[in-house]
Amino acid sequence: MADPYNKLRSKLDRAVAAYLVSVGAGGPNDCLPHNTVLANTYPNTDVHSTLSRPEVALTGLRRVMVHISIKGSAVNKPDEPNVDQGRVEFDKRVGVTMDALMESDDGQTLRATARAITAAGRALAVAVDGSDAAILKAANNADMVDFTCQAWYDAGEGDPETNADGCSWENILMFEALASPSNVD
């Protein structure tokens, strides 16, 4: 078992971002975990696990707040005749993201989303092919092999950052996860 009690928030960020990419709510270069080193350009989605508290003492199972920040450009391209095109694209990205994070298989819980996040996180530890890049990516995510998102809850929406320049939009979706860095399912 790799790093069972460490870096849960980093693991959760990576798993949620991987899940969102897998369902088309962004791409691998613009839907990123918060602790990434890639430059953010518009549009982008930032997955940031914030507050974390133990759910059951000494087990590694924690309740974690997750903020999904979606940003888009409010500036239209000069050759775009539709003045609402930027907003339409931004709203679509927010909608696809929200829909992906609200998957339910019973009409009462978001356990389907939790299972999908777990699967996407664990898949990061597996090379998709024999290329050097795929092997390196899997090695860099070897600690995800037994990550578990046990439950996923809608926690509303947050206040976006103030944008003084008026050139971008932001929407913050908030969720709460019950997760563990080690296999608890």
> Going residue by residue through the chain (185 aa), what tens digit of pLDDT does each one get?
444 447 899 999 999 999 999 999 999 999 999 988 776 788 999 999 999 999 888 788 899 999 999 998 877 777 888 888 888 899 999 999 999 999 999 999 999 999 999 999 999 999 999 999 999 999 999 999 989 999 999 999 987 765 656 678 889 999 999 999 877 65
Q: Return the structure tokens found at 149.
A: 């998102």
3-class DSSP string for 166-179: CCEEEEEEEEEEEE
Runs of H (alpha helix) within the chain: 8-22, 85-100, 111-123, 132-140
Q: What is the predicted pLDDT for the residue at 4?
A: 47
Q: Return the structure tokens found at 135.
A: 């092997």
Helix (H) or strand (E) holding 23, with range, is none
Q: Return the structure tokens found at 129.
A: 């092919």
Q: What is the predicted pLDDT for the residue at 5?
A: 45
Q: Return the structure tokens found at 165.
A: 């320049």
Residue corresponding to tokens 């008026």: 166
- Which DSSP category does 5 fall into? T
Residue corresponding to tokens 């539709």: 82
For the chain, how big is the Rg over CA atoms in Å? 17
Q: What is the predicted pLDDT for the residue at 1?
A: 44
Q: Are strands 31-33 and 148-158 parallel, antiparallel or unpaired?
A: unpaired
Around Cβ 100, how many Cβ atoms within 10 Å? 20
pTM of the model: 0.91
Q: Return the structure tokens found at 174.
A: 């908030």
